[in-house]
Amino acid sequence: MWMPQQIPQLAERLKAMGFRGDPKAFADLTGQPMGAIVSLGGCSASFVSPDGLIVTNHHCVQGALQFNSTPQKNLMEDGFLATAREQELTAGPGSRVYVTTSVKEVTDEIAGKIDPKLGDRARYEVIEKRIKERTAACEKDGQRCRVASFFDGLKYYELAQTEIQDIRLVYAPAEGIGNFGGETDNWQWPRHTGDWSFYRAYVSPAGRSVPYAKENVPFKPKHWLKVSTEGAGPGDLVFVAGYPGRTERFATYAQTKELAEWAFPRTVRRNTELIALLDEVGKKSKETELRVATRKRGLNNALTNRKGVVEGFKKGNLLGKKEGMEKALAAWIGADLERQKRYGDILPALDAVQAEKVKTRERDTTLFDLLGNGSSLLPAAHTLYALSLERPKKDLDREPEYQERNWSRIREAQDRLQRSYDPVADRALLRYILVEASKLPAGQRIEALDRKAGFSAGMSDVDAGKKIGALLDRLYAGTKLGDKAVRLALFDKSTAEILATKDPMIELDAVLDPLWQANRERAKTREGALERLGSRYAEAVLEKSGGLTAPDANGTLRVTYGRILGVPERDGLIYSPQTTLAGVAEKATGAGEFNAPIKELDAIAAQKAGKKTPYADPKLGSVPVNFLSTVDTTGGNSGSATLNAKGELCGLLFDGTFDTVASDYLYDTEKTRSIHVDTRYMLWIMSEVDGATNLLKEIGEAPSLDVVAPGH
């Protein structure tokens, strides 16, 4: 997952693979094709027209579909098509598009001239202050800036992005296309999923980034991608440009071991139980089922991913390999006196930091689940209470997430929460976490919660259940935070005013907050140590490798490349790299995860009958649906543009294979594969099934002569 500015250094490798373009084009973020690549703040996307049309994955627009759905008109199932601009729907509060305009190295400004005698906590403060100051100086004229760490603090880069606030839903195929195969096929091959959708970016008539308003006009990007009708085939070189989230390939053995043996198995257990819980509450009403759908899909995706990582660590003996690599590094350091002096203390010191963190991991993760992301109302109370504590401070002294630059996002999140909040589901989720908190071992208790709920170490499940029920009764009978107007009214209030409401959710957060703050302080000391040690650790790894190396993914713009290639599944069985329409028809059952729309199946039957389409691959004799490639991707790459050798959009990255998700922690050069939806399938569905003639014209494609009328 290369930084764009590294691509020119790979010119010889790319030439050997048959690339005849200019590698320097990838380093120019304001040129073609990189100027067309955008982030959605969790997914990747790209402009495909001069009128701000954006293509991304179907699963990346689920929030917008949910926001605009009702039990009577469920866009998550039926899909959506705006045949005119005025029909396009707001994606909802908090939706953003980010266009990266510059990347500048600022290592000296952030990490230079720091007194080596400073303690870890003081070191953290110096770096955080410098990052805040740098970010504030960068952010003007609608820019959103970030200073990101690369190679564990060895390098720092400042990224400037144009932030667009008015995002509208234009087109999403029906669930039976966009999520065909569902969780059964998730992270699997072969796939037949039409994982694409379209947004449009809007700005004020003066061209400024502003929130949704009727008078806003489509954003005019300087660059957009041509959508390929030729695609790419087996053996062809492809590039993927997007915003991968996070990899941990520079993690130590001890850090990786905790993930493999504790954190990920815990996620597998919890997500399995939480999905079952949401399935159960969803049966009670269609409204509840709709409101929990996006959360459940996220839990399912993470569950399958973590299962794959745990299994990959076991099957591939990845922990053993990681331990071997670390021992080799230690031996390399020990073989030279100068290296011993520079790096000899690093591994023991990093292990000590990790060991300290492990001591309270059960308590700390449970507290985070309570206040951070487990349910909806208690985290909302936590956000509003924390903001009231931070607001009186000078902006540079506030915690980064509560600086003024983020206030609009906080408000929008409280607004958007209303579309996913369900009191029955919320109570069930909070109860689940409280049960876990009641079972914490002695020495890792959340003492303030014990006092509030009447918990004690070793108490019986029956007694704990009664106390949890009583606490939940008090919380949900007394809270008013389920009302959006109440939450938004508290946004500007002081701590005293918020406490004066005597809302039980806020009162619970207030008694838990001292431990949250203490954990934050410990984390700052730990981060200071990891920055000091991690940068030297990365330096040692890079020096030992002696070659050009990509930094771990960190949510910044990256480019990866590879070939369209199948993969050996097991002895005697090799998966081909492409799937076709025939596979859709074979899998279609008419129900559940394989409920392909009848009009699609009719169109496939017509194709089999010999009807010609410009989107068929002559070698396949059919329209290609999905393809495999050897590109290196991870979460956050969803929706990334897949470019052929001409620099045209030939696909969208949407998944990886189950066998190789552990590559986020130790890269597998042989088996790693990513899964893409072919643009020819997208164009064929738009033409032959959904009748998206307006969009076909906009992206430069003439529609079929006998388009099926749109059914959305």
Helix (H) or strand (E) holding 382: helix 377-390
> Percent of the chain, pLDDT > 70?
98
Instruction: In whole angstroms, give the CA distance from residue 277 to residue 524.
Output: 35
pLDDT at 568: 81
| Residue linked to tokens 């932030």 | 163
Q: Is the pLDDT of residue 649 over 50?
A: yes
* Half-sphere exposure (Cβ direction) of 156: Cα atoms closer than 13 Å: 18
Mean of pLDDT values over 278-289: 91
Instruction: In whole angstroms, give the CA distance from residue 133 to residue 148.
Output: 14
pLDDT, one tens digit per residue, over 443-499 is 999 999 999 999 999 899 999 999 999 999 999 999 999 999 999 999 999 999 999
Confidence of residue 182 (pLDDT cuts 50, 70, 90): very high
Instruction: In whole angstroms, give the CA distance from residue 41 to residue 695.
Output: 24
Judge whether 561 and 236 are in contact, CB under 8 Å.
no
pLDDT, one tens digit per residue, over 614-627 is 999 999 999 999 99
Q: Is the pLDDT of residue 706 over 50?
A: no
pLDDT at 709: 34
Confidence of residue 314 (pLDDT cuts 50, 70, 90): confident
Q: Is the pLDDT of residue 337 over 90?
A: yes
Residues 6+ apart with CB under 8 A from 422: 281, 287, 288, 291, 292
Beta-carbon count within 10 A of 712 CB: 16
Q: Identify the residue with better confidence: 260 or 141.
A: 260
pLDDT at 196: 98
pLDDT, one tens digit per residue, over 382-406 is 999 999 999 999 999 999 999 999 9
Show the DSSP H helices in 394-503 as ranges: 407-416, 423-438, 447-453, 461-478, 484-490, 495-500
Mean of pLDDT values over 498-509: 98
Beta-carbon count within 10 A of 603 CB: 22
pLDDT at 572: 72
- Could you list the active site residues? 59, 195, 638
Q: Is the pLDDT of residue 712 over 50?
A: no
- Could you report how far apart the first and last alpha carbons of the chain are, in Å? 38
Amino acid at position 195, single letter: D
Instruction: In whole angstroms, give the CA distance from residue 256 to residue 285.
Output: 42
Mean of pLDDT values over 86-101: 94
Mean of pLDDT values over 276-295: 91
Instruction: In whole angstroms, give the CA distance from residue 480 to residue 483.
Output: 6
Judge whether 114 and 126 are in contact, CB under 8 Å.
yes
- Full DSSP string of 156-212: EEEEEEEEE-EEEEEEE--HHHHTTTHHHHTT-SS------EEEEEEE-TTS---S-
Q: Is the pLDDT of residue 519 over 70?
A: yes
Helix (H) or strand (E) holding 622: none
Q: Is the pLDDT of residue 217 over 60?
A: yes
Peptide bond between residue 379 and the one before it cis (omega within 30 degrees of 0): no
Mean of pLDDT values over 318-326: 93
Instruction: In whole angstroms, give the CA distance from residue 502 to residue 506.
Output: 7
Mean of pLDDT values over 572-579: 88
List Cα–Cα distances, 214 to 211, 217, 258, 692, in angstroms: 10, 8, 51, 23
User: CA triplet 664, 196, 667: central angle to 5 degrees?
Assistant: 10
pLDDT, one tens digit per residue, over 242-276 is 999 999 999 999 999 999 999 999 999 999 999 99
Q: Is the pLDDT of residue 560 over 50?
A: yes
Residues 6+ apart with CB under 8 A from 699: 48, 49, 53, 227
Three-class secondary structure of residue 650 per DSSP: strand
Instruction: In whole angstroms, give the CA distance from residue 637 to residue 558.
Output: 9
| Residue linked to tokens 């042989």 | 670
Mean of pLDDT values over 582-607: 95
Residue 194 phi/psi, 5-degree rounding, is: -90, 70
> Percent of the chain, pLDDT > 90?
85
590 exposed, middle or buried (CB, 10 Å; 0-12, 13-18, 19+)? exposed
344 exposed, middle or buried (CB, 10 Å; 0-12, 13-18, 19+)? middle
Give how far the C-alpha of residue 54 lies from the chain's centroid of Cα atoms, to the nearest Å.
18
Q: Is the pLDDT of residue 711 over 70?
A: no
Q: What does the DSSP 8-state code read for residue 405?
A: G
pLDDT, one tens digit per residue, over 403-456 is 999 999 999 999 989 988 999 999 999 999 999 999 999 999 999 999 999 999
Q: State both tokens at 534.
A: 């991690």
Confidence of residue 701 (pLDDT cuts 50, 70, 90): low
Give how far the C-alpha of residue 310 lies from the chain's centroid of Cα atoms, to the nearest Å.
20
Instruction: In whole angstroms, give the CA distance from residue 267 to residue 307.
Output: 9
